[in-house]
Amino acid sequence: MPEGRPEVLRFDNLMQYLLLKNGNYLFKVPFRDGWAVLKLYYGDRSQYQYISKTLGNVLVCNQTSFMPKSRLRTEMACLKLWREAGFRVFDTYDRVKVEGLPEGGYALFEYVDAPRFVNYFADGAIPLEERLETWRRFLPVWHRRHAMAIERREPKLIHENGDLKHVMIMEDGQFLFFDFEMVFRSKKRVKEFVCWEILAYLKSLGKTVGHKHWNAFMQETVDRYPDKSLLEHTYVLAFCNPNLVLRGARWLDRKLKPGAKKPFSKYNAALKLRELIERG
């Protein structure tokens, strides 16, 4: 192929390769001698939905734009940043053009066949001690990124959509992170965003392992996560935020949203962390 010319892919019936439809379209497509994942950032939403979601993200949630091309740019920037920081993420095939798709609205990723956290930790056929040991291995990796985000004041190092659905366990034991379409924007609030990410993961963990094992995993988190002050700060943000406006917003959230009262809500995760830390 001549220098500088992109590799061109043609698919007569792209829908036959549909892997997942979740707002975006993900396709598992034949590529070279194997497979790749083609991600189309234009989904089934209307232009009005893209714009209204973007306004909510930017004006209320301190997040980046929801517009398709913006989400692609954000994801590519995060992949580069995380990769350079030493975290395993999907490789990308950058010099590829897919005929018939909007320029700047899609990306081609390596295809990885590996278990996701959400399936692995829910698998009762895997001994509990083995799953706990995997969680113990994960905690310092997780913390290293949190510490790096805070030190650099870099919100792009926070997993905005972080939960057990978006981490894989590789054959070599590494943890692969994915889904970086949107990120938080404020460099002044990085510690706060880290704490919300912690609660999002722990909420997802509870839903995955259930009541029977959540205490054991939460205890390991308190015992093995290297910075207890961050775990303690989750309670401050959820229940006694020094910013009175945000404290009031959280109070309303707890009172009005049914999800806030669920056993594995972020609020109950913060309460559980506080209880275990105080118990010592």
pLDDT at 3: 58
Mean pLDDT calculated for residue range 166-192: 96
What pTM was estimated for this model as a whole? Answer: 0.94
Assess whether pLDDT exceeds 80 at residue 238. yes
Assess whether pLDDT exceeds 60 at residue 66. yes
List the domain boundaries for the chain: 7-110, 117-279
| pLDDT tens digits, 201-226 | 999 999 999 999 999 999 999 999 99
DSSP three-state, residue 166: helix
Residue 70 is which amino acid?
S
Start-end of H helices in 113-189 = 117-120, 128-152
With beta carbons less than 8 A apart as the criterion, state whether 167 and 87 touch: no
* pLDDT band (50, 70, 90) for residue 1: very low
**One CATH from 3.10.530, 3.40.50, 3.30.200, 1.10.8 for 7-110:** 3.30.200
Show Cβ contacts of residue 278 under 8 Å, excluding neighbours closer than 6 positions: none
Assess whether pLDDT exceeds 50 at residue 87. yes
- More reliable by pLDDT, 253 or 193: 193
Query: Edge-to-edge strands of the sheet including 175-177?
Result: 88-89, 175-177, 167-169
